[in-house]
Structure 1
Amino acid sequence: MSDAAAAGSRAVLVEGPGRYRLLNRPEPPEPGPGEVRVAVHAAGVCASDREIWDGTRAEGYVRYPVVPGHEWSGTVEATGPGVDPALTGRGTVGEGFRSCQSCDHCRAGRTTLCSAPYQETGFTRPGAFADHLVLPARLLHPLPDGADLTAAALLEPAAVVAAAVLAAAPVPGERIAVVGAGTLGLLAVQLLAACSPAELVTVDPRERPRRLAAGFGATRTVTPGELSGLPAGHDLVVETAGARSSAAEACALARRGGRIVLAGIPAPGADGLDPLLLTVRQLSLATVFGAPSAAWSFAVRAFATGLLDPGPLITHRLPLTGFETAVALVGSGDPAVGKVLLQP
């Protein structure tokens, strides 16, 4: 038994909105058939985790009490019956959606559209704000030896971005815009820059994210107030902000016949899209919620080859006991706060 296992296993249990306690179990959980136990290295805190804490996550997409944490990296510590024991000791990340694997959508590879009731690590199943995480081995995406496990904790949002890029199908030489330079937007800039666009514009009101976007390959960064000064028409616009007006702004940036991918999750009351604008300008619109296995493979491959470097997005690292502080940072609106991690 490892030192971590011998020391027991802690977990942040959110019992309901605004209420949590730190569990301290004497023994780590044991993996069952087809499962693995992962020693968590780092777990990202995102706006969805803030929704769990605030009680604002949409009905059906959280089940209290819950251990949050859907963005994570770690090392396989134990394997259950039927799992290759050679996985033990491997650095890994893993998918969150628990798809049924048997419905028509799953058989077609569209696992985020699974017809079974919604199940996801960190929302309806125990997540990674813990020393250990148990999950099906089929969800793992092992990492190369020596991979930076701290940066790898951002591969879940990177997989969402990869799903958006796959849906967008960028072509070298296109004019591309990214609306929003939070975690998703900055990861999108990195992947889209690798596609050799003629122009890659990033839109965000905050100075620090715009500066990072420029370092990641954006050819121009602007604030929303400067949109009217942009040259007309982009071939592709990827929206990641989820702000009230960002989807409408994305449509306005696209040329006639252009393509738009919405990856941000808007709050209730967001501005609607003009169907006349979509129709007359013949815009193609795609949306992303979560990431299927193909997108995860894409993101992990881009990370392994150096095309994707999430590390510079991280600004804060806190222990499990700092959970409440971490959630407050994520919801603070402080422009100096980037990605916040919990590290057991």
Structure 2
Amino acid sequence: MYVQYGNSMKALVKYARGNGNMEIRDIPEPKPGPGQVKIEVKAAGICGSDLHIYHDDIDGIPINPPVITGHEFCGVVVEVGEGVTEWKPGDRVTSETAYSFCGKCHYCITGYYNLCNNRRTLGYWYNGAFAKYTMVPHERVHALPDSIDFVSGALIEPLACITHAVLELTTITVSDVVLVQGPGAIGLATMQVAKSQGATVIVSGTDVDAERLKMAKELGADYTINVQQEDLSKFVSELTNGRGVDIVFECSGVGRAIDGALNVIKKQGQFTQIGLFGKPITIDFERICYKELKVTGSLGSRWTSWEKAIQLLEQGKVKTKPLVSHQFPITEWEKAFEMFESKQGLKLVLLPVED
């Protein structure tokens, strides 16, 4: 895909299919080819899908080992390839993950290239951001405003996925009462995007989420509820005079949360699934029919999602830095992955290391 320098860099590589098979390796430093932008990575977030790549149980997005992992990042342009005129060394940037797609199918032509059957993704199929440098097509790059620090900027990718779900796939208005299930980093960012539209937002969690529910209040949630300590249905009924919530954003990725959501959502309400379950789940689909619910899933992001995410950050309507609980050098990736898997901390970020 690109020529290489003689210098090397440390990178976190999924080197073969199967559970595990990931390690830090010395990789030749890349040099951009035509149309490519070389970015010095300043910070890169760990996503749940990185754990799925590690365990080789990800479904629906193809991986192509050996590949440098990591896809949530921002940094500084250090070099551009032939034909690139809109970016120059020193530019602060972030990048989409949709590295390549066919450009010819219905979804690509209409701007929904996130759904292209031939989409290939940074950190899955092409070398990603858990390294000192990464390479992306110039068309996928977005400017990072000076007002957004690098740690905050590393979370623009998940925020873009959220803006796609909340602002592009769901109709949300100032009069809506919204339930966000799951106060992880995705849920807390979803809450902030919903609040930016003037909605009244409830964030729900469980006993293990005590600190996260506290942060939800600090970041602007109108109400928080521990569903293991309080009755969610009773709470919502009293708040909405028996009507139910207008919208549910399911961010927990826990199957049993669906039952609670279907109980409290109003008739003709909207249900948007953001979290991934990682396995098939069982739901009572007849309740969707009886309530005439509008249900949608959400996959990835589009160009417009990124522009909206960056604008929300720049305007201060969403804050991502408070979601980052720990930062590690990529050489300590195993500790970070173990923390992520055991649900310690909130959002974990890896930082490149000098050779």
Q: TM-score range by the shorter chain?
A: over 0.9
Q: 1:183 — aligned with what? A: 185
Q: Does 1:324 align with 2:334?
A: yes
Distance 1:298 1:308 in 2: 11
1:12-47 Cα distance to aligned partner (Å, 9 max, x none): 112233223322245x20111111000000111121
> What 5-or-longer segments of structure 1 have no aligned partner?
none
Superposed, 1:241-260 pairs within 5 Å as: 241-260=252-271
- The one-letter amino acid paired with 1:288 is S
Distance 1:220 1:322 in 2: 37
Q: 1:298 — aligned with what? A: 308
Q: Does 1:230 align with 2:235?
A: yes
Superposed, 1:116-127 pairs within 5 Å as: 116=118, 118-127=119-128
Q: What is the aligned counterpart of 1:109 among 108, 111, 127?
A: 111
Distance 1:311 1:51 in 2: 24
Distance 2:107 2:60 in 1: 23
* Alpha-carbon contact 2:273-2:296 (below 8 Å) kept: yes
- The one-letter amino acid paired with 2:217 is A
Q: Does 1:217 align with 2:220?
A: yes
**Which segments of structure 1 move beyond 3 Å, counting only runs of 4 or more?**
5-8
* Alpha-carbon contact 1:238-1:250 (below 8 Å) kept: no
Aligned residues with identical type, % of pairs: 28
What's the Cα RMSD here? 1.7
1:175-213 Cα distance to aligned partner (Å, 9 max, x none): 11111111110001111111112x310011111111111
How far 1:6 moved relative to its partner?
Answer: 9.4
TM-score (norm 2): 0.89
1:284-316 Cα distance to aligned partner (Å, 9 max, x none): 111101111111111011111111110001111
Superposed, 1:199-214 pairs within 5 Å as: 199-205=200-206, 206-214=209-217
* Alpha-carbon contact 1:236-1:259 (below 8 Å) kept: yes
Q: Does 1:342 align with 2:353?
A: no
> What 5-or-longer segments of structure 2 have no aligned partner?
238-243
How far 1:161 moved relative to its partner?
Answer: 0.7
Paired positions, count: 334
Distance 1:289 1:59 in 2: 10
**Structure 1 pair 290–59 and aligned structure 2 pair: CA distance change class (3 A):** closer
TM-score (norm 1): 0.92
Superposed, 1:128-207 pairs within 5 Å as: 128-166=129-167, 167-197=169-199, 199-205=200-206, 206-207=209-210
* Alpha-carbon contact 1:43-1:69 (below 8 Å) kept: yes
* Alpha-carbon contact 1:126-1:133 (below 8 Å) kept: yes
**Structure 1 pair 218–15 and aligned structure 2 pair: CA distance change class (3 A):** same
* Alpha-carbon contact 1:74-1:92 (below 8 Å) kept: yes
